[in-house]
Structure 1
Amino acid sequence: MSLELYLDLISAPCRVIYIFAKMNHIHFQYFPMDLLQGQQHSKEFEAISIEKKVPVLREGSFILSESVAILLYLTRKYSTSIYWYPPDIHMRASIDEYMAWQHESLHIPMRKILWSKLLIPMITGQKVPEEKMNDILKQVQTNIQLFSDHFLKDKPFITGKIICVADLMAVVEMMQPVGANHNIFLGQPKLNAWRQRVEEIVGSRLFQEAHQKLFTIKKWDTSLLNNSTKEKILVMVQSVNK
C-alpha cells in the first residue's frame, strides 16, 4: 500500500511534510497541487479532502489531513529517529506546546505577509493599506520575539542540542515572507543562527528545492487565472484582511 502526499509547496505546512519525508527517506507518491489555480476545488480532490485543503496524506482508504497530525503519524509509522519527537515527556511536551501555539501565532501572520505584500497587489492591482500592513508586521515581530524568548531561549534548538519536528515546522513557516522579499531574520542574530543550523541539517539542496516555488512566486503570471478561481481567491483575500 503506497503512501500518497498531496502538496502545494507554496504552502508552509506542505513544505514541512515534504522536507521531513525526504530527510527520512520515506518513499511516497507526490501529487503536486496548485492552490492558486484552484485545483483544490476539483471534484477529484474533493473526494480525497472534503475541506479542499492541503496537505493530505493517503494510504489506501486511510486519509489524514492537518500538517501536525501528518508529521506525528510519519514519525510513528516509519519509526524515524527519536530526536524528531523524543520519548522524554518534557521534551515532547515542549514540542506539543509549540505545535499548539504555532498556527495562530506564526502560520497565519507569516501567510498574511506573503498575501498582503505580494499576492493581493498582484491579483487585485491594489495595495494593502499601510496601516493594515504595519499591524501585520507588528504582530509578526511580537510573535517571533516570543518564539525566540520562550521556545528557543539560549538553546541551539527548541528541545535542546538536537533538532526536532518543531524546529523544522517553525523555520519553514518563517520563510514564508521571503516570497514577498521580506526577510524576518534580518536584525535577528540569534534567530538567524538558529535558522542556519536547521538549514544545515536539512541540507541546502533539499531546503532550496522545497522553497523554489515560494522563491519564484513573484514571477507568477496572474493573467492565467480564470474568473472562477479569481473569485475564490478574492474571498480568501477578504479573510486575510480580517
Structure 2
Amino acid sequence: MPEQIHHYHNGLSQPCRSILLLLKATNTPHVVKPVDIFKDEHKKPEFPHPFNNVPVMVQGDFVLTESVAIARYILNSGKAADHWYPTDPKKRARVDEFLSYHHGTIRKAGVQIAMKCVLIPMGSGKPCTKEDRKQVLEDFDKALEKFEGYFLKNGSCIAGDKVSIADVFAVSEILQAAMGGTDFLAGHPKTQALVDKVKAATPYFDEVFKPFNDFVKAHVK
C-alpha cells in the first residue's frame, strides 16, 4: 500500500482547494498540512516546495509541485472513478485542454479580483477604488462568457455531463470572484449549474470552502 499523501494546504488558494476536494472525493489516503501564508510559513527553510508555493504534495521521499500535475498523479495512481479523468481519449483531451487553458483566463481574472478588491487593500490600508472594482469584475464577466461559450457549449460539464477534475479546478477558480462582493454568477446559469454539480459530486465541498468563505465574510465589504 502506498504511503499517505501529505497535502500542504491553504484554504484561500484555489489550487489547494481543488486538490483537497479531489483527495476527499476519491477517498485517497492523505494528511492535510496547513500552511499559514500570512505568517510566511511557506518561506521557511524546511518547507518542501522549492519555489515556496502551495500546494505541494509529499509521499515518502517523492515531492511533487504544481496542482495540475498533483491532480493527475492522484488520479493515475489510484482507483478513482473514470469520470474524474476519463480514459476516453477525446474526453481526456477536453479535460487537459481546460487545465492548460485556465491559468491565463479564468484563474487570472479571479486572482485580479482577489488582489485588487481585498489583498492589496489589506496590505496597503487603502480601499479598492470603484473604478478598479468595476474593471476587474467586468474582466471576470468576459472571461466567464468565453468559458461558457466554449467549454460548456456541448454539455453541463467540461468533458460532457459528468464532473471531472477540470470542473473542480474551474469551480475553485470561479468562486474566487466572491472577493468582489457581488453576485458574480447572475446572468450565468450554465456556470451556476456547473457549481451545483461539483458541489453534489464532492460531499466535503462546504468543509473545504469554509476557510475561504469565512475570510470573505470577514474582509469583503
Q: TM-score, normalised by structure 2?
A: 0.92
Q: Deviations over 1:26-78 (max 9, x none)?
A: 11111000112211111111xx1110001001112111011100000000111
Identical positions, percent: 28
- Find the partner of 1:31 among 20, 29, 33: 33
Aligned to 1:14: 16
Does residue 140 (structure 1) correspond to residue 104 (structure 2)? The answer is no
CA RMSD of aligned residues (A): 1.7
CA shift, 1:219, in A, is 6.3
Aligned to 1:93: 93
Conserved 8 A contact 2:156-2:190: no
Give distance in 2, aligned partners of 1:24 and 1:146: 30
Q: Deviations over 1:110-151 (max 9, x none)?
A: 022122112222221112344333332222111111110100
If each structure's helix is expressed as a fraction of its own residues, which one has the higher value? Answer: 1
Aligned to 1:226: none
Trace 1:201-212 onto structure 2 (pairs within 5 A): 201-203=201-203, 206-212=204-210
Give distance in 2, aligned partners of 1:183 and 1:174: 12
Gaps of 5+ in 1: 222-242
Conserved 8 A contact 1:110-1:177: yes
Code of the aligned partner of 2:20? Y
Does residue 188 (structure 1) correspond to residue 209 (structure 2)? The answer is no
Conserved 8 A contact 1:180-1:218: no
Code of the aligned partner of 2:205? F
Aligned to 1:73: 73
Gaps of 5+ in 2: none
Give distance in 2, aligned partners of 1:23 and 1:135: 36
Conserved 8 A contact 1:179-1:216: no
Give distance in 2, aligned partners of 1:211 and 1:141: 22
Code of the aligned partner of 2:56? V
Conserved 8 A contact 1:14-1:54: yes
